[in-house]
Amino acid sequence: MSSAQKSEQEWRAVLSPEQFRVLREKGTEMPGVGEYNKHKGTGVYNCAGCGTALYKSSTKFDSGCGWPAFFDAIPGAVSRHEDRSLGRQRIEITCTACNGHLGHVFKGEGFQTPTDERHCVNSVSMKFKEGGEQ
């Protein structure tokens, strides 16, 4: 069975309560508390739900927003969806493989990055694997 086809009960069995709240219920962790907010290391950030490689450490930057920020994802790993849950339009990002909620992407904020985007990702949605970045 693919991870995208897991039942709620199966997800609860493999994720911590906080991972389930964020990944499966589209929650948000508190700013400034995430394990990877200030993390610096060379490697790959993988989906905490299914293990899919999402972001290379070379695309991570310090945005000062309180969550890990990346200017680009590994091609095909992250999907974008319109999100109007707060009464305004945002772009939600999810893991393409398991549809786990990662966070949101913002454009045109003026960061000096190659894409002028900030992928604002919940730390609890990811697991870092040292090395492996090409």
Per the annotation, the verdict on 47 as an active-site residue is no
Average of pLDDT values for 48-73? 97
Alpha-carbon gap, residue 26 to 125, rounded angstroms: 10
**Does the structure show a pLDDT above 60 at 2?**
no
**Does the structure show a pLDDT above 90 at 118?**
yes
Average of pLDDT values for 84-90? 81
Alpha-carbon gap, residue 45 to 87, rounded angstroms: 30
Nearest to 99 by CA among 47, 27, 59: 47
Backbone dihedral angles phi then psi of residue 23, each to the nearest 5 degrees: -65, -40
The single residue of 50, 95, 98, 120 carrying the catalytic annotation is 120
Alpha-carbon gap, residue 9 to 84, rounded angstroms: 27
pLDDT tens digits, 20-44: 999 999 999 999 999 999 999 999 9
| 97, HSE (Cβ side, Cα atoms, 13 Å) | 15
Domains and CATH numbers, the chain: 3-128 (2.170.150.20)
The reported pTM is 0.92
